[in-house]
Amino acid sequence: MDKRRLTAASLLAGLIASTVSLWAQEARTPTQDSILYGTADGQPLTMDYYAAKGEGVHPIAIIIHGGGYHGGTSKNGSEAYVADFLAPAGYAVFSVNYRLAPKYPYPYMVYDVQRAVRYIRYHAREWNADPNKIALVGGSAGGYLSNMVGLLNAPGDPKAPDPVDRISAKTQAVVSLYAQSSFEFVPLNEDVHRFLDSFIAQKGQKEAIREASPITYVSKDDPPFLEILGDQDEYIPMSEATNLQTALHKAHVRCDIIVIPGGKHGTGGWNKLPNVPDWEKQMTEWLNARLHHRGPIGEGIRPRVPQTEEKSPS
């Protein structure tokens, strides 16, 4: 093998090794995998559980994955990453799957997330968790669902034959990452059409967009919100966060925003940005304050490895 081939092979081996190393660092194993939290239209609804570190009754964080309303799973790294630092901080963390468009368009996945909240609240004591301290944490499509379920504050149905469905789906805090709060001001892309077209056909576009937009349901009874997104997001403009913040503030509900300078859609590359804020630490502190929890902060947070731009040779 000549020197050039040897060098190329060495570079390729190094690239593969670094990729495998990165994957290994990001891999996470739930304490319990594929817990059944319900069945809908014959489809099993499952979730993963990451046990809280430490003793005591733990607050609950429910992760809702993204995927453009038609893809993704409970193990999506961009959102499931939150379990890496919330479980060590003393949170009982659950990451849920839900039915996907186009087979299951709006509002079915909203119903699924509400069912997950009810199930986790009903069984909370089995995980040594507090049913009255539940936070939703969603990203992208999952952030939309966090917004929607958090703002709907759905009560339980006292006449439901299943005792789980008699339980409230109201939460005590919402964290939405790079999430849509309304479909009115952002053009409907292919993913949103998969999600909303059948509802638009039923209701007409104006009414369908109104009913499917989380901001429609803002009220004084809403939980506090934290919105996190990059100012270079390819899909979600900053106005989606500021519009929701304005609406919540008018209703006298707390809503805070963490901006990731240079951040794009998804958490994956945020730790490589120069001067990236300690958003994980800030988010955990925010949740601790809202849910009256104390726990260690820092374990599981991705190390900062800012990438410097290479200078062109002069």
Q: Which residues of 170-192 are buried (b: 16+ CB within 10 A; e: fewer)?
A: bbbbbbbbbbbbbbeeeeeeebb
pLDDT tens by residue, 115-154? 999 999 999 999 999 999 999 999 999 999 999 999 999 9
Pick the CATH number of 32-291 from 3.30.70.250, 1.20.1090.10, 3.40.50.1820, 3.40.50.300: 3.40.50.1820
Say yes or no to pLDDT of 11 above 70.
Answer: no
Tell me the pTM. 0.90
pLDDT at 16 over 60: no
Count how many residues are written for the chain. 314
209: which residues sit within 8 A by CB, 6+ positions away?
A: 182, 183, 184, 196, 200
Q: What whole-number distance in Å separates Cα of residue 72 and Cα of residue 233?
A: 19
Amino acid 26: pLDDT: 55
Domain boundaries, the chain: 32-291
Q: Is 244 within 8 Å of 277 (Cβ atoms)?
A: no
Task: Please provide the average confidence, as pLDDT, over all residues in the chain.
Answer: 90
| Among the listed residues 71, 62, 278, 252, the one whose alpha carbon sits nearest the alpha carbon of residue 150 | 62
pLDDT digits (tens, 9 = 90+) for 29-66: 999 999 999 999 999 999 999 999 999 899 999 999 99
pLDDT at 159 over 60: yes
